[in-house]
């Protein structure tokens, strides 16, 4: 194989594409949370004045894309690909957003891992020389996810402590061969792992094995260890999932300690009644494109390993008794000389 | 699935069980008792009120039920019922107001897909099973009673 590959699952970008512009947008609950200061745009009305939350979600996504393009000082025509993914059936948020953007569209589904899948694929395309600039984006919405995966919003359900709250918002990043910004230097694409978890109330538990697998794979492939990174970020394992993740990683003889942060576990404050924490595509996206990128500009982090996890199932598979599979993708983001 | 995989799953499920926080059952039970009790007290108050107007027990019960269903629907529409259920759990779900909530919540949710294929078709998506098995078990019990007592009434 070429030198662009390391080990079994990791790719190395020789001309590491840069995140030259990125933007996050989210609702009031996220704004009140711990990561509120890292979100670029906060909206007061999660419905965005739209008649349905589905329409609102794609509007948030479109807005995030436009903001990211503006920050990169580029236009739609400068983008050769738009890679988008979301949680809704047939990824309608991304497709309708792509319709409005008019950029050649690659729709992806990696559940809540979409942003890292998008960044990884975008980096492959740019480093491969097939594009100069790629737009990668994702969205999620509490109300659209609740109705698709769970119950009507106003229904009398008492949430379990392991339940997670879907983050409302969107995030987008412009990846480019030239320009200034953090670089994506490596990506490890994960395998789908299923440890037999069946309850959609335990999504963190369903995703933790995949996260641990991809992380250990990454360390083995690259010969790195937790000490080589300033931060190891996971997307939305939340309180229960991250506990299991740390345990599984420890069994593989890696100690993460204070290097590890899970966005789902920290995005909301305890008094915000969100069960085990946040989830949804935008949860990890706010962590990566909000927290990590901003702190890199502040000089706090230089080398970050960002993992995003997804729970792969549908209400139909779940009702038919199938267990929930998990996936995790990882990218290495480096500040270097921004 | 081979045995090693099965063992791994069993082991992991044990890990999950240990990592998952347990609900505070005593607190939940107390909250459910208070919430359910409050709803039933409102029902009783309405019953006593209606009894003044219409002393027939059957009529008063029916009117009280209807009033509680209306109350549940209004509370759902105002966004109050899911707030109550988050705290009161089964205390909010079991009374007839909770049943009313399942229908109203579904109706509100699916109205966006239109009145026919949305609201009309999906209004009973949560309450449907309760109706089907409620009626079925009512029928079976009545049948048993009729057979055992040898009389239909």
C-alpha dihedral (A236, A240, A242, A248), degrees to nearest 10:
-130
pLDDT single digits (tens) A52-88: 999 999 999 999 999 999 999 999 999 999 999 999 9
Q: How many helices (H) does chain B have, and how many strands (E)?
A: 8, 0
pLDDT digits (tens, 9 = 90+) for A268-325: 999 998 889 999 999 999 999 999 999 999 999 999 999 999 999 999 999 999 999 9
B76/A contact by beta carbon, under 8 A: yes
* Rounded distance between C-alpha atoms, residue A273 and residue A120, angstroms: 33
In the predicted structure, residue A1 carries a pLDDT above the cut 60: no
Q: Please judge whether B86 and A147 are an interchain contact, meaning their C-beta atoms are less than 8 angstroms apart.
A: no
Digits of tens for pLDDT over chain B (153 positions)? 788 889 999 999 999 999 999 889 999 999 999 999 999 999 999 999 999 988 888 899 999 999 999 999 999 999 999 999 999 999 999 999 999 999 999 999 999 999 999 999 999 999 999 999 999 999 999 999 999 988 766
- Whether residue B43 is found in the same domain as residue B107: yes
Residues 6+ positions from A183 with CB-CB distance below 8 Å: A13, A16, A17, A18, A19, A333, A334, A335, A336
Residues B26 and B61 reside in one and the same domain: yes
- Rounded CA-CA distance A117/B145 in Å is 62
Pair B142, B92 in one domain: no
B4 inside 8 A of chain A by CB: no
pLDDT at B70: 97
Q: In A218-257, which positions are buried (b, 16+ CB within 10 angstroms) versus exposed (e)?
A: bbbbbebebeebbbbbbbbbbbbbbbbbbebbeeeebebe
Residues whose CB is less than 8 angstroms from the CB of residue A22 and which lie 6 or more positions away in sequence, other chains included:
A68, A71, A171, A172, A173, A174, A181, A289, A293
Q: Is residue B60 located within the same domain as residue B105?
A: yes
> Across the interface, which of A147, A153, A196 has its CB nearest the CB of B13?
A196
Coarse DSSP helix, strand, coil percentages of chain A, rounded to the nearest 5 percent: 40, 25, 35
Domains of chain A and any CATH numbers: 5-176 (3.40.47.40), 183-334 (3.40.47.40)
Report the gap between the CA of A50 and the closest CA in chain B (Å). Answer: 11
Residues B141 and B115 in one domain: no
Asked if B109 has any chain A CB less than 8 Å from its own CB, the reply is yes
Contact (Cβ atoms closer than 8 angstroms) between residue A194 and residue A308: no
Quick one: CA torsion of B48, B49, B55, B57, rounded to 10 degrees?
-50
Minimum-distance CB partner of A205 among B16, B21, B93: B16
Q: Is A157 helix (H, G, I), strand (E, B) or coil?
A: coil
Residues B112 and B138 in one domain: no
pLDDT per position as a tens digit, A150-172? 888 888 888 888 899 999 999 99
What percentage of chain A exceeds 70 in pLDDT?
Answer: 99
Nearest one of A56, A252, A281, A202 to B16, comparing CA atoms: A202
Inform me whether the C-beta atom of residue A157 falls under 8 Å from chain B C-beta atoms.
Answer: yes
CB < 8 Å to B77, chain A: 154
Provide the 3-class DSSP secondary structure of residue A112: helix
Per-residue pLDDT tens over the stretch A183-237: 999 999 999 999 999 998 889 999 999 999 999 999 999 999 999 999 999 999 9
> What's the confidence (pLDDT) of residue A158?
85
Domain ranges, residue B136: 123-153
Q: Does B100 touch chain A (CB under 8 A)?
A: no
B133 shares a domain with B108: no
DSSP A256: -
Are both B100 and B153 inside the same structural domain? no
């Amino acid at each position: 194989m070429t030198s662009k590959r390391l080990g079994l699952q990791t790719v190395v970008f020789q001309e590491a594409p840069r995140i030259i512009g990125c933007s996050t947008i989210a609702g009031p609950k996220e704004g009140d949370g711990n990561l509120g200061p890292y979100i670029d745009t906060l909206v007061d009305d999660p419905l965005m004045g739209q008649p349905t939350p589905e329409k609102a979600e794609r509007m948030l996504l479109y807005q995030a894309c436009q903001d990211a393009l503006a920050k990169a000082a580029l236009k739609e025509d400068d983008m050769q690909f738009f890679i988008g993914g979301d949680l809704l059936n047939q990824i309608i948020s991304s497709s309708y957003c792509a319709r409005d953007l008019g950029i050649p569209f690659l729709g992806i589904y990696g559940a809540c891992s979409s942003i890292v899948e998008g960044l990884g694929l975008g980096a492959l395309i740019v480093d491969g020389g097939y594009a100069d600039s790629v737009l990668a984006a994702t969205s999620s919405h509490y109300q659209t996810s609740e109705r698709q995966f769970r119950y009507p919003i106003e229904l009398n359900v008492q949430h379990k402590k392991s339940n997670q709250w879907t983050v409302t918002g969107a995030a987008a990043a412009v990846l480019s061969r030239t320009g200034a910004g953090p670089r994506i230097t490596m990506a490890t694409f994960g395998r789908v792992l299923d440890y037999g978890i069946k309850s959609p109330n335990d999504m963190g538990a369903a995703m933790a094995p995949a996260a641990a697998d991809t992380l250990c794979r990454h360390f083995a492939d690259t010969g790195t260890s937790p000490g080589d990174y300033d931060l190891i970020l996971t997307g939305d394992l939340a309180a229960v999932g991250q506990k299991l993740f740390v345990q599984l990683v420890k069994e593989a003889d890696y100690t993460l300690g204070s290097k590890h942060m899970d966005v789902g576990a920290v995005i909301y404050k305890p008094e915000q009644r969100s069960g085990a924490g946040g989830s949804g595509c935008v949860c990890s996206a706010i962590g990566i494109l909000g927290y990590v990128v901003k702190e890199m500009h502040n000089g706090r982090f230089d080398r970050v390993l960002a993992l995003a996890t997804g729970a792969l199932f549908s209400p139909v598979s779940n009702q038919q008794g199938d267990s929930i599979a998990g996936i995790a993708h990882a990218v290495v983001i480096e500040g270097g000389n921004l | 699935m081979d045995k090693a995989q099965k063992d791994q799953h069993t082991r992991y499920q044990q890990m999950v069980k240990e990592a998952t926080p347990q609900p505070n059952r005593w607190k939940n039970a107390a909250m459910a008792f208070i919430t359910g009790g409050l709803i039933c007290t409102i029902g009783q108050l309405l019953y006593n009120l209606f009894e003044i107007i219409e002393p027939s027990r059957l009529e008063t019960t029916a009117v009280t039920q209807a009033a509680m269903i209306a109350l549940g629907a209004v509370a759902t529409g105002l966004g109050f019922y899911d707030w109550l259920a988050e705290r009161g759990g089964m205390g909010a779900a079991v009374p007839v107001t909770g049943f009313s909530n399942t229908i109203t919540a579904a109706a509100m949710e699916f109205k966006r897909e239109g009145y026919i294929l949305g609201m009309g078709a999906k209004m009973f998506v949560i309450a449907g099973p309760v109706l089907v098995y409620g009626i079925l078990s009512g029928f079976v019990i009545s049948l048993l009673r009729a057979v055992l007592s040898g009389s239909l009434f």
